[in-house]
Amino acid sequence: MTISAQILSADTLISGVLPALLLPLISAIVCLIVSEKYGWVVAFISPLFLLVSAAFAVYTCYHQLGSDPLIFNLTWFSVAGREFDINLLLNNISTLMMSVVSVVSFLVHVYSIGYMADDAAQRRYFSMLGLFTFAMLGIVVSGNFLLLFMFWELVGFSSYMLIGHWYEKPEAADAAKRAFLFNRLGDAGFVVGLMAIWSGYGTFNFADIDIANGGGWQIVAGIGVLCGVLGKSAQFPLFGWLPKAMEGPTPVSALIHAATMVAAGVYLLDRVFWIFAPPVLITIAIIGASTALIGACAAIGQHDMKRILAYSTMSQLGLMVMAVGMEAPFASMLHLITHAFFKAGLFLAAGCIIHTLHQAQHHSRDSFDVQDIRNLGGLRKRLPFTFVAFLVCGSALAGLPFFAGFLSKEAILEAALHWASHGQSWRWLLAGSAFVVSFLTPIYTFRMIWKIFMDEEVLTQNLEIAEAPPVMRFPLLILSIASLWFAVSFNPFDFNGWVFRNISDFIPPAAGASHHPFPWLSFASIFWIALALALAYFSRNASIRSRLLYEAFYFDKVIHLSVELPINFLGNMTRRLDRKWIDGTLHTAAYTYTILAHVVGWFDRFAIDGLVDGVAWSARMVGYSVRRFQREGVQLYIFWALFAIIIFIIWTLL
């Protein structure tokens, strides 16, 4: 894609992007080095930094939205004339995403003040949250695949640290590892994509890649990037880590595993949409649709409220990915933004419930699983504020009219219809799955709301439940407001509002989204949702005990059997190979050598030394016999001397 872009002036950089990007990093460093004695200070400093960062981001967005893209380029290092750049690319979607990320992150920081008030490792927590925000903002603004990949990995690292925040729980440690590994698996694919891009285009800069001259590597590059997305956005088949990641603190789930990090994959697809060749796009659509379906079905089978939300996130992400595959990145982007707000809101509301119930349990020494919705009920009277927030955000998720989710979902449905009507008939299958998902979403959402807030209380009668502190309610309030329709469009039945108009102009108008080809869609989808709500209401007391759904179609088991076990087996094989065969061969060689040495030694001692010894022996024997003459005494010696002289005399005389 060659972008007609202006050079980002130093002024804009310093007054907008850099502070927004670096303040979270500074916050992270400050939190890390502040001494334990002043540990309490991080809970104030960190949100403050984030507030300023968010202000800068929103300011940049306000100035930048709708104008030409800006590029900032700095050579990082160069090898053989090819440059590796630090490249920032500011266009509409990145500035918008930047403000979404920093605002949600700020809200989560504020929320965490209350939620993590009693945690001993607050410094580590806020530090990692800051690092995460920095990395996430880095993904958003970078205009270069390599830089993006670096932030991409850094996001994975901070996510690992945050999921494993309560590392003493073995499940948390395991979940953190699993999340990182699944991400890493995808990232290995991403690296292949990077290699293909480097080999084909000789640059990583979005602006400099000329997609037509790829030397045939466009498909590999696309598949590689897609692999990265699969891991990060928990798409089929690499979604197993997301439900497990709910072991982390709930604000983390809200920020990372709902609003931002998992959305980074979708964001990447939108941002580098131009790199995907048509066959890759179809793959993307199929993967997205299947993830959306699996997620929605699995969400119905769950009892743990955070897991319901996790599977729901997965399903929504699937929808977004599918929309990208259906050549509607702008629709996917819209849903990404609305989803960020209402899903973060839902998680934070769930966090309020969990937090207050935990504290109540702590006082009454009661213990049951507070996240299991079967144990809850009737909380609307006890927690009215949380109830309203949950209801608003849930309605947005379910896609009820007058909520933001309704509009963005409609954008996706319309894109699906448009895509399906312009191709072979099997495309209707994928478009249909989008409708199935949008039918299932209200069902699990409202079942959950019903179980938590309606009916009678099940196990919570005796607990002293109080509404969460204001510091936790404030973010909830903001997010609930942002879940209403005017957050994206002032007309509650037309998604083509102020946000959409601004993000869609970076795509050529050929996708034809500016006019509405399906005017009946709004009514149809209202009817469709009403039907789903009715079904949800009538089945509110039916308990779903499907093991298949609960285990999300046993994908974990499949992965366990097909990946983990063989790898373990291989590991043990190689160890044995090393010990038994390589070292074994060596030892055999060494022993053979030793035996040979002994044989040679024996030969040496008995054959060669024997010869030498024989000579010495005979000499000694002669010496011994001769010595005997001298041994007996002086007189005998004289006698023998005399005897010899006599013999000698006789000898001479004769």
For residues 334 and 407, the answer to whether their CB atoms sit within 8 Å is yes
Which tokens in the block code for residue 612?
Answer: 């030498």
CA distance 244 to 338: 24
**Is 420 within 8 Å of 435 (Cβ atoms)?**
no
Contact yes or no for 235/291 (Cβ under 8 A): yes
* Cα 287 to Cα 433: distance, rounded to the nearest angstrom: 12
Which part of the chain contacts other proteins (CB under 8 A), choosing from 190-198, 341-349, 386-394, 461-469?
190-198
**178 CB-side CA count, 13 A:** 23
Q: How far is the CB of 69 from other proteins (least distance, A)?
A: 25
User: Please, which residue, 189 or 295, has the CB nearer to other proteins?
Assistant: 189
Query: CA 250 to CA 264: how far, in whole Å?
Result: 19
Q: Does 201 bind other proteins (CB under 8 A)?
A: no
Interacting residue with other proteins among 8, 91, 92, 187 (CB under 8 A): 187
CB of 162 to other proteins, least distance (A): 13
Helix segments in 493-544, DSSP class H: 498-504, 521-538
Applying CB under 8 A, which of residues 118, 598, 632, 644 lies at the interface with other proteins? 632
Residue 206 interacts with other proteins (CB under 8 A): yes or no: no
**Residues with Cβ within 8 Å of residue 600, at least 6 apart in sequence:** none
d(CA 377, CA 374): 8
d(CA 164, CA 166): 5
Is there binding between residue 194 and other proteins (CB under 8 A)? Answer: yes
Placement of tokens 């509405």 in the chain: 516
Annotate each residue in 586-615 with x if it binds other proteins (CB under 8 A) or - if it does not, as one string: x-----------------------------
* Residue 80 sits in the site that holds other proteins (CB under 8 A): yes
Task: Round the CA-based radius of gyration of the chain to a whole number and report it.
Answer: 38
Q: Which residue's CB is nearer to other proteins, number 2 or number 78? A: 78
Q: Which of residues 560-589 bind other proteins (CB under 8 A)?
A: 567-568, 570-575, 578, 582-583, 586
Confirm or reject binding of residue 621 to other proteins (CB under 8 A).
no
Minimum Å gap between C-beta 170 and other proteins is: 5
Min CB(650)–other proteins separation in Å = 16
Handedness of CA 449, 454, 456, 462 (dihedral sign): positive
What strand order describes the sheet that includes 70-79?
A: 6-7, 70-79, 82-90
Q: Which of 510, 626, 634, 650 binds other proteins (CB under 8 A)?
A: 634
650 touches other proteins (CB under 8 A): no
- Contacting range for other proteins; rule: CB under 8 A; set: 22-30, 105-113, 167-175, 494-502: 167-175
Q: Which stretch binds other proteins (CB under 8 A): 50-58, 76-84, 285-293, 348-356?
A: 76-84
- Of 277 and 521, the one with the shorter C-beta distance to other proteins is 277
Contact between 548 and other proteins (CB under 8 A)? no
Label the pairing between strands 82-90 and 6-7: unpaired
Under rule CB under 8 A, residue 172 binds other proteins: yes
CA distance 621 to 615: 10
Our finding on whether 635 is near other proteins (CB under 8 A) is: yes
For other proteins, which is the closer residue by CB, 163 or 552?
Answer: 163
The secondary structure of 89-132, three-state, reads EECHHHHHHHHHHHHHHHHHHHHHHHHCCCCCCHHHHHHHHHHH
Q: Does 79 bind other proteins (CB under 8 A)?
A: yes
We find the least distance from the C-beta atom of residue 185 to other proteins, in angstroms, to be: 6
Please report how close the Cβ of residue 181 comes to other proteins at its closest, in angstroms. 6
Q: Which of 29, 45, 48, 154 is the binder for other proteins (CB under 8 A)?
A: 154
Q: Tokens representing 396?
A: 């947005």
Tokens of 353: 């419930």
When the beta carbons of 204 and 485 are compared against other proteins, the nearer one is 204
Binders of other proteins in range 127-146 (CB under 8 A): 146
In the bound complex, what is the minimum distance in angstroms from residue 191's beta carbon to other proteins? 5
CB of 644 to other proteins, least distance (A): 14
Please tell me the distance from the alpha carbon of residue 535 to that of residue 439, in angstroms, as a whole number: 10
Question: How many angstroms separate the Cα of 525 from the Cα of each of 204, 361, 433, 640, 647?
Answer: 42, 42, 14, 140, 145
Amino acid at 603: F
Task: Compare residues 57 and 146 and give the one whose CB is closer to other proteins.
Answer: 146
Which of 409, 406, 414, 439 has its CA nearest to residue 529? 439
| Closest to other proteins by CB, 21 or 58 | 21
DSSP code string of 283-312: HHHHHHHHHHHHHHHHHHT--BHHHHHHHH
Q: Which residue, 25 or 294, is less far from other proteins as judged by CB?
A: 25
Binding mask 212-251 for other proteins (x = CB under 8 A): ---x------------------------------------
- CA 71 vs. chain centroid, Å, equals 28
Residues that bind other proteins (CB under 8 A): 76-80, 82, 146, 149-151, 153-154, 157, 160, 164, 167-170, 172-174, 176-177, 180-181, 184-185, 187-189, 191-192, 194-196, 198-199, 215, 567-568, 570-575, 578, 582-583, 586, 631-636, 638-639, 642
